[in-house]
Chains A and B, each alone.
Chain A
Amino acid sequence: MNDSFSIVGKKVFRQDAYAKVTGQAKFADDINFPGQLFAVMVRIASAHAKIKSIDYSEVINDSRLIKIIDHSNIPGNKLVGPIRNDQPIFCFDKVVTPGDVICMLIGENVDDLNKLKRKVKIDFEELPVLNDPLKSLEENSPLIHPEFENNLIIHYPLRKGNIEKGFADSDYIIEQTYRTAFVEHAYIEPEAVIAIPQETPNSVKIVGSIQNPFTCRKVVASVLNYPLANVRVIQAELGGSFGGKDDTMNILSARAAIGAMITGRPVKIKYTREESILESYKRHPYILNYKVGAKADGKITAMKIDIIADGGAYSSMSPFVTWRSVVQATGPYEIENVQTDVRAVYTNNPYTGAMRGFGSPQPIFAVESIMDELAIKLNITPDEIRRRNCFTSGSFTASGQKLEKHDVNLIKVLDTAVQKSGFKEKWIKYHSLQEFKSLEHKNLSFNDADSLILKEQDYLNNQNYLRKGIGLAVSYRGCSLGAEGIDAAAAYLSLQNDGSLFLLCGLSENGQGLRTTLSIVAAEVLGLTLDKIIYLDQDTSLIPDSGPTVASRATLMGGGAVKNAAVEIRNRLEKLLVDEWNLAGDAVFTFANDKVKYFGGGAKEISFNELCALAYKKGISLSAMGWYKGPDVHWNEETGQGSAYFTYVYGCQVAEVTLNMATGEVFIDNLIAVHNPGRVINLLGAEGQVYGGVTQGAGYALWEEINSEKGFIKELNFDQYLIPTAKDVGKIKPYFIEGRDIYGPWGAKSLGEPTLELTAAAIANAVRNAAGKRFFNLPLNLEEIFLGKKLKAESLNRGSA
């Protein structure tokens, strides 16, 4: 850490922790408004159906019902979506996945409404259901959205060099196929939102568990056909999001808003966990085919990648998620000849969209697995194969971008992880253990050659079957939105004449700790102590549209904006002091601990609050709006070439596991995470990001999976959808390697997503090291390891296997 900072890089307590540990923090469902009504959703049990008629006659006159809302009540857009408008607020002609909503009932009491909703009679005709993304593009497969000519959401090609020549030049070729599962965000707070009609005609306020208030505002305004200024979105305390409270929340907000405007009363929608899992989008399952060619010395000559992503019923963020995949699919390796095709397709499965990692955990799992296979084939260690191929300063990425103007310190990151974990020695030892190679000879009798199932006598002393393994994975990750979107953010700082400060940013506190991070940035520039800063609630009517809080961009972009605003105010205060104290124009001041000092000839000092009072008296503005815009990036859609992101971060994780060969259980003993976030702003928060991201990554590796059974989800609550508990993951140790960068506050870039994207790949490689066998399908749960295949539920009933 850099000692010249007074607060940046230290362990700082969260600004909002007091409210959260006392139970005072107000999450969306903790907020109620006088006269508030509730709305419940009506669905049909079908994954693909044509709606023939809806009959409200049995409920319409019921006194417990205040209003029924369906598509006919929508004044504006009936279809919405971040990129393609294909998702209905209320379905009107078809249902394309079981989460779809046909209408909603509004009344005073949720229990009553839940009884009434069964009396809405919906006549529908079942259509053929499409669940296999590999069949989506077949000639005769059912069209999910007939308004488009086929089920292709997007196709990104990337072409670099000459792929045939690359393979012809290689000494070894490996080709493998990997698969990943649908994964639920599993924020512990289910969705909730309230829409409140405002005094000004045709205007509405939305308060809810909303990750991206500006996106939400855009959707609500388009659905109501209102100007943006008539829709005010305020973020309630957010109980976790991880990319998940975007599209779903925008649609829920629009539904609540229609209800509120029609009834003239506040309308709340609150989801149960089951509804949350049923309707909200998931992480994309990918099918990834990788073919790699390498020279005998390990240098990769060619990589051919074919990826199919299951977009589910709606396009949502698929075009952006898969774009990140095409950029990063080769991993952080300099390869001359690359051919990548990434396609996202429609099915009747739950739709998929943004989730922490955003199109990176899937290709990282595949490419890092195949890199280990290559190392094994060439008889070198996994760290060595990476050292021989990985990016260094001046390397060219698969998209032809030269890595420059930042520390390309992947080798340092890798070496740190290898050294801290003793990787090499352990890997060689576990890999070469005789036991592995002579499984059959040691009285272990497999049912078939490819399975690890043991016979009964093998269980007796299963201590013998505990095996250790170690594995690593590396990644590079483009920071912020890249060529996906408009990349700029605003922050507003308003100093009061006693030296206290209001801070507001256009990006959101989603639980990750943004309030604290941004407060630290302002405090560092102005020399304030943190207790002087009041962080205001995210509110679309008070701050410019700063885009979504996604892509690990908030510290970089929001921090940049806060710093710009704080520097502007500081410059005004310095100028005032130059005048007051008769100093030269280039006098140097220090701002720290609520004091401003000048050390030149005749040292001078003034308390920060006196300085603010003085500025106020002189009529100097004590507030500023900071704006931070990322540099331009570009992308060629046809060739997949261009400068995808303006800067990158690098990471390496090493997992050590114990594998129980008798049960298939994997326990993570140790996980070392080495990341280069540019600069650490809050060490306590940064460590928390690593612990949390790695734990989510462990869930992705070993347990988490949403099964779509003809489109229906089996795991609708935490009894079936298993996320890691306090007992499930061993030690996690974060290390930060800082690197210079010209962007972001003092070079601070991204951390939240890098922490998660590597974990499953590192664990999979550790399991390979322990088992002496590769597993190709996430999650690596008991049956995957034990049987070599996934057991699928035969029915959706609870407890059925």
Chain B
Amino acid sequence: MKIKVSFILNGLQVTVETEAHRRLLDLLRDDLNLTGTKEGCAIGECGACTVVMNKLAVNSCLVLAGQIDGAEIITIEGLMKNGALHSLQQKFIEKGAVQCGFCTPGMIMSAYALLLSNKNPDEEEIKEAIAGNLCRCTGYKQIIEAIADSEI
């Protein structure tokens, strides 16, 4: 069954028609060509698909199309402002928080959601916020440093 959903995506109003059972992750990647959001497990364990929905970090592999009507969604592609990197993106580069980069978009979106609710998180709060984002390359240390150094 097809449904029509309207939502705000990276600041722009969009409307898509889609099968109701499809995941937000598929809408973003396949229909809207926003491939910055990644798929690593499809069961809500790896966090590679994390986007910010109504100011909260969500696994887009666990969100169905029907759930996003009226929502405000921000993906990694929506983080730059006027051609300038967001502080998180800049710090990820400077601190060496990126290796293969596959976890990076999801990691940054989890961190972004954290900063939205907590401007000065301490190390434990940062670890808690990204505990659902798996990274196999970095050992997380430089990621934690980058987030600690970022501002919203």
Contact = CB atoms under 8 A, between A and B. Distances in A.
Contact of A685 (B37, B45, B96, B127): B96
Interface string A19-38: 11111111101100000000
Given A22-B77, A240-B136, A695-B139, A727 B127 contact: yes
B100 A189 contact: yes
A371 to B, nearest CB: 26
Interface in A718-734: 718-719, 723-727, 729, 732
Nearest to A720: B45
A23 B51 CA distance: 12
B108 A729 contact: no
Contacts of B45: 717-719
B47 to A, nearest CB: 9
B18 interface: no
Interface in B55-98: 75-77, 79-80, 85, 88-90, 92-94, 96, 98
Contact of A22 (B36, B46, B131, B140): B36
A279 to B, nearest CB: 16
Interface stretch (A55-63, A620-628, A686-694): A686-694
B116 interface: no
A694 B138 CA distance: 9
B139 A694 contact: yes
Contact of B100 (A273, A511, A693, A719): A511
Interface stretch (A8-16, A459-467, A642-650): A8-16
A513 B100 CA distance: 8
B32 interface: no
Contacts, number: 170
B102 A239 contact: yes
A230 interface: no
A240 B100 CA distance: 5
A14 B93 contact: yes
Contacts of B144: 726
A696 B102 CA distance: 17
B139 A17 contact: no
Sorting the interface of chain B by its residue count into under 10, 10 to 19, 20 to 34 or 35 or more gives 35 or more
A14 B89 CA distance: 13
A223 interface: no
Contacts of B76: 21-23
A190 interface: yes
A725 B137 contact: no
Contacts of B38: 27, 188-189, 239
B136 A186 contact: yes
B5 interface: no
Interface string A232-251: 00000111111000000000
A202 interface: no
Nearest to A698: B139
B41 A718 contact: yes
A512 interface: yes
Q: Among B39, B80, B100, B126, find the residue whose CB has the most chain A CB atoms closer than 10 A.
A: B100
B138 A510 contact: no
Contacts of A190: 39-40
Q: Among B29, B40, B92, find the residue whose CB has the most chain A CB atoms closer than 10 A.
A: B40
A272 B127 CA distance: 27
A23 B37 contact: yes
A13 B93 contact: yes
Contact of B101 (A11, A16, A272, A719): A16
Nearest to B124: A727
Contacts of B105: 21, 23
A18 interface: yes
A240 B89 contact: no
B99 interface: yes
A22 B138 contact: no
B36 A691 contact: no
Nearest to B19: A111
B89 A22 contact: yes
Nearest to B93: A17
A729 B139 contact: yes
B96 A240 contact: no
Interface string B103-132: 111001000000000000000001110111
Contact of A242 (B41, B108, B136, B139): B136
B100 A187 contact: yes
B27 to A, nearest CB: 15
Contacts of A19: 101
B108 to A, nearest CB: 7
Given A29-B39, A691-B142, A20 B136 contact: no
B131 A21 contact: no
Contacts of B103: 188
A110 to B, nearest CB: 11
A712 B137 CA distance: 27
A23 B29 CA distance: 11
B135 interface: yes
B34 interface: yes
A32 to B, nearest CB: 9
Contact of B43 (A11, A16, A719, A726): A719
A210 B43 CA distance: 25
Contacts of B35: 23, 26-27, 29-30
A237 B137 CA distance: 14
B92 A17 contact: yes
A454 interface: no
Contact of A718 (B46, B92, B96, B139): B46
Contacts of B134: 186, 188, 718, 723, 725
A793 to B, nearest CB: 18
B42 A272 contact: yes
Interface string A670-706: 0000000000000011011011111110000000000
B102 A189 contact: yes
Contact of B42 (A239, A241, A273): A273
A273 B40 contact: yes
Contacts of B133: 726
A677 to B, nearest CB: 16
A17 B98 contact: yes
Interface in A54-85: none
Contacts of B148: none
B102 A240 contact: yes
B40 A189 contact: yes
A447 B36 CA distance: 54
B45 to A, nearest CB: 4
B48 interface: yes
B97 to A, nearest CB: 8
Nearest to A272: B42
Contact of B143 (A29, A242, A512, A726): A726
A240 B134 CA distance: 12
Interface string A273-301: 10000000000000000000000000000
Contacts of B108: 21
Contacts of A717: 41, 43, 45
B136 A691 contact: no
Shortest 8 CB-CB distances between A and B: which pairs? A23-B36, A511-B100, A20-B101, A239-B102, A691-B139, A695-B139, A23-B76, A718-B45
10 contacts: A13-B96, A188-B100, A241-B100, A272-B42, A694-B139, A696-B136, A723-B134, A726-B126, A726-B130, A726-B133
Given A25-B101, A188-B136, A189-B40, 11 more contacts: A13-B94, A14-B98, A20-B98, A22-B85, A239-B101, A239-B102, A273-B43, A273-B46, A511-B99, A688-B137, A718-B134
Interface of A: 11, 13-14, 16-27, 29-30, 185-190, 237-242, 272-273, 510-513, 684-685, 687-688, 690-696, 717-719, 723-727, 729, 732
Interface of B: 29, 34-43, 45-46, 48, 75-77, 79-80, 85, 88-90, 92-94, 96, 98-105, 108, 126-128, 130-144
